[in-house]
Structure 1
Amino acid sequence: MAITETKTKYGQVHGVQKDGYTVFRGVPYAKPPVGEKRFCPPEEPACWEGVYKADHFGCVCPQTEHEPDSFYGKEFYLDPEFGMNQSEDCLYLNIWTPANAADEKLPVAFWIHGGAFMHGFSHESEFDGAAYCERGVILVTINYRLGAFGFLAHPWLSEESGVGRSGNYAILDQIAALKWVKENIAAFGGDPENITVFGQSAGCMSVQTLVSSPLTENWISKAIFQSAGGYDTGLNRDMPLSEAETIGQEFVELTGAKTLEELRAIPAEKIVELQEEFGRVNPSRMLSFVPNIDNHLLTCGYNDAVTEGKIKDIPYMLGSTADDIGVFPEMKEKGEHGGIYKGCINWSLALEKLGRKPAYVYYFTRALLGDDAGAFHSSELWYMFGTLGRSWRPKTEGDYALSKEMMDDWTNFMKTGNPNAEGKDDWKPCTKDDPYVQVLDVRK
């Protein structure tokens, strides 16, 4: 029986029934972080009366939009159907649940979008849960705060907090959303004991942060890192709170605000403009709004969390693309791999050294048709979400077959912790004796 209306901890919610699934769009998982709540940790949402109509996607965090003729603008943001209304009131999630969800406790896939912690949103054209529902998996996608809204640390804010820390609001948003799912997903047919957290690029860095944090307790049963996570990748940045506060002071000086009250009164669109100016004036600050080590969310650096065994002891799957960040033509000509590729293998070997199960590692090498960008950073998203039909690019039967294969791999892992179908063992774990990497490409 299809679930079109159900009761959450906060009230009744009604979704939109589709062919084979129901989608609940724009469900609030925290109070709007506006006014005095700007630059504060998220707060539990208020209960509502009556039925909440979850029939449209929520607003997205204020951000600079990609130009239509830019590479990623053309790739993912051209379709007006997936446009975005911007607002600081952006803490919403979406749930796609199969028609038969009421009869089962289904695995849950919790997706965190990328975008350099500055861009992106939960309902981009490449994201959709229909293919996951076909395979008996519930998909949840979330919005979270970005840029300064999500990461600004400052001595004013650390003092105001009463606990001597600030920043990390974006990751705390993600944790609030994960807690919401843990507490409410059973009402949508999901198994709160089987939640796979996965993400790509900055979303992947977020996932690695979540599995490295004590704040997520035992809420994560599996994790997938796509194009940013691993051990010693060269991408993750261990930023002490003190450094984050220094960056925050520089940013606040640029705003001209003399008090917290003045800072919170600056219009959101002006904050976005100032973020862009901040990076232009000082290129070293271009990507400076990131998680900080505050001895609360994070107690140590990313690599140390691995070597000290502070990461979650759960199944992992992780990988990169052939033309990912940090991969250059001269490297490929020599047969060399980038830091993310190596970092994925390093992660699995580190797990093995800790006496844990090694990870499943992949390498997406399909050079997408339509230009010479190859298997670029983010190119796998169309395939593992089953949304190739929304892409402007030419496709072959092989592309659709690869997409089906990847969706099966991803959802098999979400169900069992193993990407192989039952009775198969083609995709082997990556071990010291056999550092196996599954190549994902069209069949020749």
Structure 2
Amino acid sequence: MLGALLALASPIALAAARSADAPPRVTVDQGMLEGKLAHVHGTVLREFQGIPYAAPPLGERRWKPPQPAASWQGVRAATRFAPRCMQLPLFGDMVFRSNGMAEDCLYLNVWTPASDARAGLPVFVYFYGGGFVSGDGSENRYDGASLASRGMVTVTVNYRLGVFGFLALPELAAESPVHASGNYGLLDQNAALRWVKGNIARFGGDPRRITIGGESAGSISVSAHMASPLSRGLIAGAIGESGALIAPIAPQSQAEAQTQGAAFMRKAGAATLAALRAMPATALLSASAAPAPDMGPDIDGLFLTEPPAATFARGDQADVPLLLGSNTQEGFYPNLLGRLPPTAANYRAAVTRLFGDQAERALALYPGGDRAQVERSASDLAGDLFIAHSTWRWMNLQRRTADAPVYFYLFARPRPAKRHPLPGEQPDPGAVHSGEIEYALGNLDSNPVYAWTPADHKVSRVMEGYVERFVKTGNPNGPGLPAWAAVGNADGPVPRQRIDVDTGTINDTGAARQAFLQSFIATHPAIALP
């Protein structure tokens, strides 16, 4: 009976049926890729993992700007995440699906709806966090499938980390045609953006509608791309989740970065740059373990020609819609007090050590009269000094010098209890640093550590909806979402979207303390938590 039915079926229909189940193929500049199909939220997606966007940064290419990826013959499988970049195991919340770890790590991943490969969909490129020393585009929390099922192309990018991504040396500057050294990880991101610009139409994306986003170091990267003369013309929008390359997270000067690089070279036991390049990657990684020189973004003269704050203040950054914000518990009071109990006396002593003769001004803005107030204010101050203040300054600069709209949020949903807490372990009282990622990208169920509730899924639907609308239109507002007012450029109350079970617009209450920190940091740039 089945044979008779097949005999009656038309060859065209049978070919269409086989084609619908066949692995998807896309031809990019380097050759043909074969991905895989996935079904997510009732949508068929095409997924491509481990796509090389640059040549392996090995041998003489170590500590050089990324070079174009080589072409290949035949069909290249793109069904498995590539190796993550070299990194130490520093953060317990990172769950990788990568194919091990290697210095050959410059790959990206694409999720796109399967319905129409020529759809001209908006594109969202996401950079992971991890302090520029850890992270990977394969992490479950960054999975692009949920957003892609909403009608966009999503991309995650691997970039060099730590000493591999940010070493600066006079010898490296001497090799460079523009005398630049450092920022190789940011140059990797730029190379990935250029690859996306040139190839994403073949995945159904619109190269004129690329929004970049990221959290923590990823957010800091987004702010840097908005300022960089190499990147700012490549993007149509930006999303920053906690962090900007603005004081107190300002880039080092190249001279400072080269001093740190020379210290690392001595620690690694290499007398010359050639000897350093000849060292195994594992040896370099071991040498970068604490205590180690501080390496991160610098004003290299290529990717960055000045501090981003100066670019933003002058209005020369990318004039694109910006959605950004931070969380209610970016820091916690032990970050300020250490193991000391949160008493008023201990808190006053800690604030005095930080602010000296301006301690009374700080205490007026971050009061600590009793234990509850100390816990709250010390957490606020620790979070501001860690990353919230740089985010606020980014918002304030962009709204004053750009014509495009700015949308500012405060993520306030604490994670629920863990499924298997340790004895005595309690949920955090606020929304911790990085705690919004799974909500924003629609990936709560990818994290089995927490006992997610219907309320958490409600918050995720709202926040992911905001991301979807912003990537598609440059405006987070849309049907079924609580109204979100853009920030104006005039003085006065700053509207801020408080994202929680009851999401809505409030007036930002932190302007006075942020103004104080900005003034203090201008004369005390080395301020840092103990």
Within the candidate set 14, 18, 25, 1:5 is matched to 25
Q: Which has the higher contact order (CA 8 A, sep 6+)?
A: 1
Shift in Å, 1:203: 0.9
Deviates more, 1:425-434 or 1:314-323: 425-434
Q: Which runs of 4+ in 1 moved over 6 A?
A: 326-329
Q: Give the Cα–Cα distance (whole angstroms) in 2 for the partners of residues 88 and 45 of structure 1.
A: 15
Q: Using a 3 Å threshold, how does the CA distance of structure 1 residues 326 and 297 change in structure 2: closer, same or farther?
A: farther
Q: Give the Cα–Cα distance (whole angstroms) in 2 for the partners of residues 201 and 352 of structure 1.
A: 21
Structure 1, gaps ≥5 residues long: 67-71, 280-284
Shift in Å, 1:52: 1.1
Shift in Å, 1:289: 1.6
Within the candidate set 345, 366, 372, 2:427 is matched to 372
Indicate the residue corresponding to 2:186 in structure 1: 171
Contact 1:101 1:190 survives alignment (8 Å): no
Q: Within 5 A, what are the aligned runs for 1:124-163?
A: 124-163=139-178
Secondary structure, aligned partner of 1:276: coil
Residues 1:302 and 2:294 are matched in the alignment:
no
Shift in Å, 1:345: 4.4
Indicate the residue corresponding to 1:282 in structure 2: none
Residues 1:440 and 2:515 are matched in the alignment:
no
Secondary structure, aligned partner of 1:195: strand
Residues 1:351 and 2:398 are matched in the alignment:
yes
AA at the equivalent of 2:100: N
Indicate the residue corresponding to 2:483 in structure 1: 426
Q: Give the Cα–Cα distance (whole angstroms) in 1 for the partners of residues 482 and 291 of structure 2.
A: 50
Structure 2, gaps ≥5 residues long: 1-18, 337-372, 418-425, 504-530
- Deviation string for 1:77-105 (max 9, x for gaps)? 3xxx7255111000000000012242410
Shift in Å, 1:113: 0.4
Secondary structure, aligned partner of 1:437: strand
Contact 2:118 2:203 survives alignment (8 Å): no
Residues 1:220 and 2:235 are matched in the alignment:
yes
Indicate the residue corresponding to 2:456 in structure 1: 399
Q: Give the Cα–Cα distance (whole angstroms) in 2 for the partners of residues 125 and 140 of structure 1.
A: 13
Shift in Å, 1:53: 0.7
Within the candidate set 306, 314, 317, 2:320 is matched to 314
Indicate the residue corresponding to 1:243 in structure 2: 256
Contact 1:97 1:189 survives alignment (8 Å): yes
Indicate the residue corresponding to 2:374 in structure 1: 330
Q: Give the Cα–Cα distance (whole angstroms) in 2 for the partners of residues 273 and 110 of structure 1.
A: 31
Identity level (%): 37
- Deviation string for 1:403-423 (max 9, x for gaps)? 111111001000111000059
Residues 1:381 and 2:387 are matched in the alignment:
no
Residues 1:108 and 2:123 are matched in the alignment:
yes
What's the TM-score once normalised by structure 2's chain length? 0.76
Indicate the residue corresponding to 2:59 in structure 1: 35
Contact 1:398 1:443 survives alignment (8 Å): no
Q: Using a 3 Å threshold, how does the CA distance of structure 1 residues 17 and 398 change in structure 2: closer, same or farther?
A: same
Q: Give the Cα–Cα distance (whole angstroms) in 1 for the partners of residues 48 and 301 of structure 2.
A: 36
Q: Give the Cα–Cα distance (whole angstroms) in 2 for the partners of residues 341 and 32 of structure 1.
A: 35
Contact 1:228 1:235 survives alignment (8 Å): no
Secondary structure, aligned partner of 1:198: strand
Shift in Å, 1:160: 2.0
Q: Give the Cα–Cα distance (whole angstroms) in 1 for the partners of residues 52 and 129 of structure 2.
A: 20
Indicate the residue corresponding to 2:287 in structure 1: 274
Secondary structure, aligned partner of 2:140: coil
Shift in Å, 1:356: 1.7
AA at the equivalent of 2:265: V
Deviates more, 1:322-331 or 1:201-210: 322-331
Secondary structure, aligned partner of 1:216: coil
AA at the equivalent of 1:330: V
Q: Using a 3 Å threshold, how does the CA distance of structure 1 residues 420 and 167 change in structure 2: closer, same or farther?
A: same
- Deviation string for 1:45-78 (max 9, x for gaps)? 1111111110110111111124xxxxx41x333x
RMSD over equivalenced CA pairs, Å? 2.2
Contact 1:384 1:403 survives alignment (8 Å): yes
Secondary structure, aligned partner of 2:498: strand
AA at the equivalent of 1:247: Q
AA at the equivalent of 2:305: T
AA at the equivalent of 2:499: L
Contact 1:410 1:419 survives alignment (8 Å): yes
What's the TM-score once normalised by structure 1's chain length? 0.90
State the structure with more CA Rg.
2
AA at the equivalent of 1:372: P
- Deviation string for 1:230-268 (max 9, x for gaps)? 7x5x44223111111111111001111112221111111
Secondary structure, aligned partner of 1:126: helix
Contact 1:205 1:229 survives alignment (8 Å): yes
Q: Using a 3 Å threshold, how does the CA distance of structure 1 residues 50 and 83 change in structure 2: closer, same or farther?
A: closer
Indicate the residue corresponding to 1:201 in structure 2: 216
AA at the equivalent of 2:186: I
Deviates more, 1:300-309 or 1:1-10: 1-10
Deviates more, 1:425-434 or 1:331-340: 331-340
Contact 2:113 2:153 survives alignment (8 Å): yes
Secondary structure, aligned partner of 2:252: coil
